[in-house]
Amino acid sequence: MSAKNLPKIRGSYRLNADLSKTSWFRVGGPAEVLFRPEDAEDLINFLKNKDSDLNITILGACSNVIIKDGGINGVVIKLGSNFAKITHDENIITIGAGTLCSNAALYAKMNGLGGLEFLTGIPGAIGGAINMNAGCYDGDISKILLSAKAIDFDGNLIEFKNEDFGFKYRGHQLPKNLIFIQGVFKSFPSNSEEIGKKIAEFNKKREESQPIRSKTGGSTFKNPKEQKAWELIDKAGCRGLRVNDAQMSEKHCNFMINTSNAKATDLINLGNKVIDLVKEKTGITLEWEIKRIGKD
């Protein structure tokens, strides 16, 4: 594909762009084209003027995704710093989709706005967090989101209220062809010291229980109803299980890590092996929480 065949934009196109450096697992093949829009208007212009059959993939901070070794055909859209602005009006916080969740928690701390502390424990950016209803430490996006703006693949800007989402565990019922660009969240008056204590407590818990210093991607599998995925994985004898350089963490066995030079195929094969062993041992079929995208 040539950039000449794509709409004229104010942002940037990169051909054959290496995606492995942006993936938290440090794996994956290249994007045929990587598009970084300048702003929402630039993104809308691209989507309205692209070929209707063009394959579009959205990437956030790449914290909960395995990019396959063959890379991704078509155009990969990645939102940059112009989509990472945060503002607030009293207790209402507007956060750009490109904002890291941890940065959103720190902004709330600096401004004495409570209720967003759990975001410090979510890897990745706000756009992805909205899309998967991310959560931890008894908090999740559905509990604090008031509304969100998104652009569909035809370039239409749409605003959704919380009740429009039909939120469920790690997901929602809206169409999949949406690029979230902004979320509006509720908070409550607090003080920086109290918020800082909660954030420090959550970060301490993460440090003690999760392999956050490793090349990982957060929780690998969703928790089945009234079950803990890690307990099922442990029961099936999969703690520390390896496929080449891919391993289920000894520290937290629902975290998959790239110990050195794993390929995406190794990580995916390891995950599928865990699913089989857990099914064999417990009768329960685990569901991937980490997305696998691209071509083999």
Q: What is the dihedral of CA 289, 256, 266, 247, to 10 degrees?
A: -150
Query: Which H helix or E strand runs over 271?
Result: helix 264-282
User: Which of 23, 117, 190, 289 does the annotation list as catalytic?
Assistant: 289
How is residue 212 written in tokens?
């956050």
Instruction: Of 135, 133, 179, 172, give the one whose Cα is nearest residue 157.
Output: 179
- 201 is an active site residue: no
- How far is CA 151 from each of CA 58, 155, 187, rounded to the nearest angstrom? 12, 6, 25
- 170 is an active site residue: yes
Phi/psi class of residue 39: alpha, beta or left (left: φ > 0; alpha: ψ in -120 to 50)? Answer: beta
Tell me the three-class secondary structure of 231-258, residue by residue: HHHHHCCCCCCEECCEEECCCCCCEEEE
Instruction: Of 262, 249, 267, give the one whose Cα is nearest residue 213.
Output: 249
CA distance 274 to 294: 21
How is residue 28 written in tokens?
């994956």
Helix axes 192-209, 101-110, angle to 10 degrees: 150
- 208 is an active site residue: no
User: Which of 117, 170, 187, 190 does the annotation list as catalytic?
Assistant: 170
Instruction: Of 64, 93, 77, 73, give the one whose Cα is nearest residue 29.
Output: 73
User: Which of 23, 190, 219, 249 does the annotation list as catalytic?
Assistant: 219
- Kindly give, in sequence order, each residue whose CB lies less than 8 Å from that of residue 86, ignoring residues fewer than 6 positions away: 93, 94, 95, 96, 99, 103, 104, 107
Catalytic (active-site) positions:
170, 219, 289
